[in-house]
Structures are given as C-alpha cells and as structure tokens.
Amino acid sequence: MPKKVIKDYTKSQKESYLMYTSGLSIKEIAQERKLVEATIEKHLAQFVKLGKLEINEFVSKEKTDLITDYFNKSNSTLLRDAKAALGEDISYSEIRYVLSHMKFLGTLRIIWANTFLFP
C-alpha cells in the first residue's frame, strides 16, 4: 500500500504563490482570484514558513524585530494576544508573517498552556 504524501501547501496557496512570484501584487492576486487580500497574505505566509519567500518582502526589519521580541517573551502564540500587546502599528498579517518566519527558523517556542493530563 503506498504511503500518503502530505503536502506543505494547498493547491490554492500554490496558485497565489506562483502569481506572486510572477510579479503580481497581493491586491492584484486577490482581485484576479476573487479572494480577499487577507486570504492571499495567509497563502504567502505559508511560503515564508517554508523558506520560499523572504520575511523582508512583507515586514520591515524593525517590525520583525519587535514582533519576534514579543513572541520570545510571551507565553502565547495567538494572533489576538500579539495584536493587543503590539498595538495598531502592527497588522495581523505582519504578525502572521513573522510567526511563519520564526517557524521556518525553528526559533518559535511552542507553549502548551492549560494542557493537563488526566489519569
């Protein structure tokens, strides 16, 4: 019996990635695909996580450092917690891109808060 192959991305994510790497902007991809820009940003964040896109294409070094510092000191990887702490100058997409980048680098500490084992 053949082993099931798990892909690192969906067909839709790959389509967004190919359009982006061909030179289209996030806005243009969203319009052409009839999706919202946030969906395209989520697709591209997957390729940041895979190391196929550079973080600096989406987030400035200053913001990357600020968001990285937050996650290095935080007990949460939830976007809403990061957004609340980082404020209006940082977008959810920027947070998502940095989280993806940290996962690629292997520097994101995963905290299993509120995890209990019962006998």
Return left, alpha or beta for 118; rule: phi > 0 is left, psi -120 to 50 is alpha, else beta.
Answer: beta
On the question of pLDDT at 115 being above 50, the answer is no
Which residue range forms the structural domain that includes residue 107?
55-112
Residue 110 is predicted with a pLDDT of 62
Query: Are residues 40 and 18 located together in one domain of the fold?
Result: yes
The residue that leads in pLDDT, 116 or 83, is: 83
Q: What is the CATH number of the domain that holds 22?
A: 1.10.10
Query: Are residues 59 and 95 located together in one domain of the fold?
Result: yes
Mean confidence (pLDDT) of the chain = 88
Query: Are residues 49 and 67 located together in one domain of the fold?
Result: no
Cβ count near 47 (within 10 Å): 21
On the question of pLDDT at 32 being above 60, the answer is yes
Query: Are residues 73 and 42 located together in one domain of the fold?
Result: no
Query: Are residues 47 and 74 located together in one domain of the fold?
Result: no
Query: Are residues 46 and 63 located together in one domain of the fold?
Result: no
The residue that leads in pLDDT, 76 or 23, is: 23
pTM for the model: 0.85
Instruction: State the pLDDT confidence band at 76, using cuts at 50, 70 and 90.
Output: confident
